[in-house]
Structure 1
Amino acid sequence: MRLNDTSRALFAALFLVANCTGLMAQDGIRRLIANPTTIDQPGSYILRSNLRYGPASGPAILVQADGVSLDLNGFEIQGPGGKQGTAIMVDGAHGVSISNGSLSDNWFGVVVQNSGNVTIKNLRIRAQGLVIAELPPETGIMVVESRNVVVEDNAIFNTGLGIFVRGGMSGGNRLSNNTVTAGTNGLLGICYNPAPNDPESPKSDIVSGNLVSGFTTGMSFKGTSAFNVIRNNVIQYGTTGIEQLSTKNTEEGNTVVKMQ
Structure 2
Amino acid sequence: GKVSGFNINVNAANSVNVRVRNLQIVGRGLAPNNGPTEIGVLLLQTRGAFVESNTISSVNLGIFVRGGASTGNRIFENVITGGGNPANNLLGICYNPAPNSGTEGPRGDNIYNNHISRYGFAIAISAGSISNIFNENVLAPFNGGFREPGALTTGGGTNVSEGNIVATIPATVLP
Q: Is the TM-score greater than 0.5?
A: yes
Q: Aligned AA for 1:228?
A: N
CA distance in 2, matches of 1:134, 1:224: 21
Match of 2:100 among 178, 197, 201: 197
Match of 1:140 among 22, 37, 40: 40
Q: Deviations over 1:119-162 (max 9, x none)?
A: 00000000111111222320000000010010000000000000
Aligned residue number for residue 49 of structure 2: 149
Q: Is residue 239 of structure 1 aligned with residue 123 of structure 2? A: no
Query: Greater CA radius of gyration, 1 or 2?
Result: 1
Higher relative contact order (CA 8 A, sep 6+): 2
Counterparts of residues 170-249 of structure 1 (less than 5 Å): 170-183=70-83, 184=85, 185-198=88-101, 199-244=103-148, 245-246=150-151, 247-249=157-159
CA distance in 1, matches of 2:46, 2:138: 26
Aligned residue number for residue 61 of structure 1: none
User: Structure 1 segments of 4 or more deviating over 3 A?
Assistant: none
Q: Deviations over 1:95-119 (max 9, x none)?
A: xxxxxx0011110111001110110
CA distance in 2, matches of 1:243, 1:216: 9
CA distance in 1, matches of 2:98, 2:21: 24
Q: Aligned AA for 1:222?
A: S
Pick the structure with more helix per residue. Answer: 1
CA distance in 1, matches of 2:58, 2:112: 21
Q: Is the 8 A contact 2:64 2:93 kept in 1?
A: yes
Counterparts of residues 39-54 of structure 1 (less than 5 Å): none
Q: Is the 8 A contact 1:121 1:151 kept in 2?
A: yes
Task: Name the count of aligned residue pairs.
Answer: 160
Q: Is the 8 A contact 2:144 2:166 kept in 1?
A: no
Q: Is the 8 A contact 2:67 2:96 kept in 1?
A: yes
How far the C-alpha of 1:240 sits from its partner, in A, is 2.2
Q: Aligned AA for 1:250?
A: V
C-alpha RMSD over aligned residues: 1.0
How far the C-alpha of 1:171 sits from its partner, in A, is 0.6
The alignment partner of 2:22 has SS state of strand
Aligned residue number for residue 154 of structure 2: none
The alignment partner of 1:207 has SS state of strand
Counterparts of residues 121-140 of structure 1 (less than 5 Å): 121-140=21-40
Q: Aligned AA for 2:168?
A: K
Instruction: Note the residue ranges of structure 2 that are not aligned, 5 or more in a row.
Output: 152-156, 171-175
Q: Aligned AA for 2:169?
A: M
Q: Aligned AA for 1:255?
A: I
Q: Is the 8 A contact 1:194 1:223 kept in 2?
A: no
The alignment partner of 2:32 has SS state of coil
Q: Aligned AA for 2:89?
A: G
Q: Deviations over 1:164-218 (max 9, x none)?
A: 0000010100000000000131110000001112121000000000000000010
CA distance in 2, matches of 1:252, 1:171: 19
Aligned residue number for residue 19 of structure 2: 119
The alignment partner of 2:141 has SS state of strand
Q: Is the 8 A contact 2:36 2:90 kept in 1?
A: no
Instruction: Note the residue ranges of structure 1 that are not aligned, 5 or more in a row.
Output: 1-100
Q: TM-score, normalised by structure 2?
A: 0.89
How far the C-alpha of 1:223 sits from its partner, in A, is 2.6
Aligned residue number for residue 166 of structure 1: 66
